Every structure is written in structure tokens, then in C-alpha cells.
Amino acid sequence: MKKHKQEIITFKVDEPLLRKLQDLPNRSEFIRRAVLEALENVCPLCQGTGSLSPKQKEHWSRFSSDHYLEKCELCHEVHLVCENKGPDNPHE
């Protein structure tokens, strides 16, 4: 198994966040896990920016002509539905 080289990354935090982080027994591990979890949940379209570029907006407009957003009655999360296929329900 190949070992990955570790790098040190620093970032700035405000005082309230610093106080909360100081209370953790292993800050580094907590931050690593939080970053990995966040990266696994990045929006595939905006890639975590929170907004679409003009070209992404064009693609979305074409895509959304036969797709729509719907709130799941079971988990109450919003998801995409393709009009041509019907609802994709992971709860069934």
C-alpha cells in the first residue's frame, strides 16, 4: 500500500470558530473528516461554488425543460425528476 505524502494546510478562522475548535480533542482529524465529507457532497453542477456560470445556466435551461424539482414526501428532500422516466424514489 502506497503511503501518501502529508502536507500542512493553514486557514483563517474567526474567534467563535476558533473557540469551538480548541475544545476538540483532535482538531486535525476532525477537520480532515469534515473536509472529506464536504467534498463528497459537492453539487455536481456548480461544483461547490453555489452559483452557475452563464454557460452552465444554458445547459441547466436545456436540461430542466424535461426535468423538474420535487420534494420527497418521505424524507422531505428536494430531488430531480425526469418527465420521461417518472420519479426516481430510493425509498421504494
Q: Name the residue ranges covered by the structural domains of the chain.
A: 15-82
Average pLDDT over residues 75-91: 76
pLDDT score recorded for residue 34: 95
pLDDT, position 3:
82
Asked whether 60 and 51 are in contact (CB, 8 A), the reply is: no
- pLDDT tens figures, 18-51: 999 999 999 999 999 999 999 999 988 888 899 9
Predicted local distance difference test score (pLDDT) of residue 6 = 87
Is residue 77 very low, low, confident or very high in pLDDT (cuts 50, 70, 90)? very high
Average pLDDT over every residue of 52-78: 92
